[in-house]
Amino acid sequence: MDKSIAIELVDVGYCINANQWLVKDLSLKVVVGETLVLLGQSGSGKTTTLKLINQLRRASCGEIFILGKNINDWDITKLRRQIGYVIQEGGLFPHYTVEKNIALLPELTAWSKADIKNRVQELMKLIGLSYQEFANRYPHQLSGGQRQRVGVARALALDPPIILLDEPFGALDPIIKNQLQNEFANWQQNLNKTAILVTHDIQEAFKLADKIGLMVDGKLVVFGTKEDFLNSQHIEAKAFMECLRK
């Protein structure tokens, strides 16, 4: 297996209710350090694809390889320690402080208290939140953008090589959204993670993607660079391009 490929899906499908395919015939490769944006309308299979990659769902058919290893050969706990996962609003535990939310996975992995505190402080500096000011706050005491930052920090806590982001900026107002998109691009440049980001926002896709995968009805209909997307004749790609021109 090519070590430059962090994630590979080969003819992957996911079926429910005997014959309802949420994902079908999906094949793609994500290079180490690359950001793939999965673009598509609601119900196109984007989030299901993320859940197949971190085994929140098991594929009905096909093969998935993570860091060169078949997903079925991974210990599930070890697999998920290789993959950070970010959702809208960060998915924080409301009864945990910011520090406790970020520290959760290192604590479960039995890091020392000193190492955990150092890691929390390091990550809070990365996301631009003062440890002294924010460590003891609870999620309801944060703005939407701050919660999203903490969600990113928690996903990075174990320094995983892969990070999955499910519409992480979708619920934010335009100014904060733009700011966090810029920050994500900077984090990616500095950390060099392999990332898959789900969105229905074509502007976000063009801003953050190395590659774009357009999904329609569970199928990948366009996959390639931004230039490839611009040149696509697929009707759905053209519809998204109209949104980009507005």
Q: Which amino acid is at 212?
A: I
pLDDT tier at 69, thresholds 50, 70, 90: very high
What is the distance between the alpha carbons of residues 154 and 92, in angstroms, rounded to a whole number?
9
CA angle 135, 176, 142 (to 5 degrees): 25
Q: Are 204 and 244 in contact (CB under 8 A)?
A: no
pLDDT (0 to 100) of residue 198: 96
* 105-149 pLDDT, tens digit each: 999 999 999 999 999 999 999 999 999 999 999 999 999 899 999
pLDDT above 90 (res 174): no
d(CA 185, CA 195): 11
pTM here is 0.93
Give residue 2's pLDDT.
66
Are the beta carbons of 154 and 102 closer than 8 angstroms? yes
Lowest mean pLDDT among 136-150, 175-189, 197-211, 214-228: 175-189
The CA distance from 60 to 14, in Å, is 5
Coil, strand or helix at 213? strand
Mean residue pLDDT of the chain comes to: 93
Q: What percent of the chain lies above the pLDDT cut of 70?
A: 97
Whether the pLDDT of residue 1 is over 60: the answer is no
Mean pLDDT of all residues in 70-81: 94
Distance CA 246, CA 223 (A): 23
Of residues 43, 85, 30, the one with CA closest to residue 215:
43
DSSP code of residue 56: S
Tell me how many helices (H) and strands (E) the chain has. Answer: 10, 10
pLDDT of res. 87: 85
pLDDT confidence of residue 203: 92
- Above pLDDT 90, what percent of the chain? 82
Q: Is the pLDDT of residue 100 over 90?
A: yes
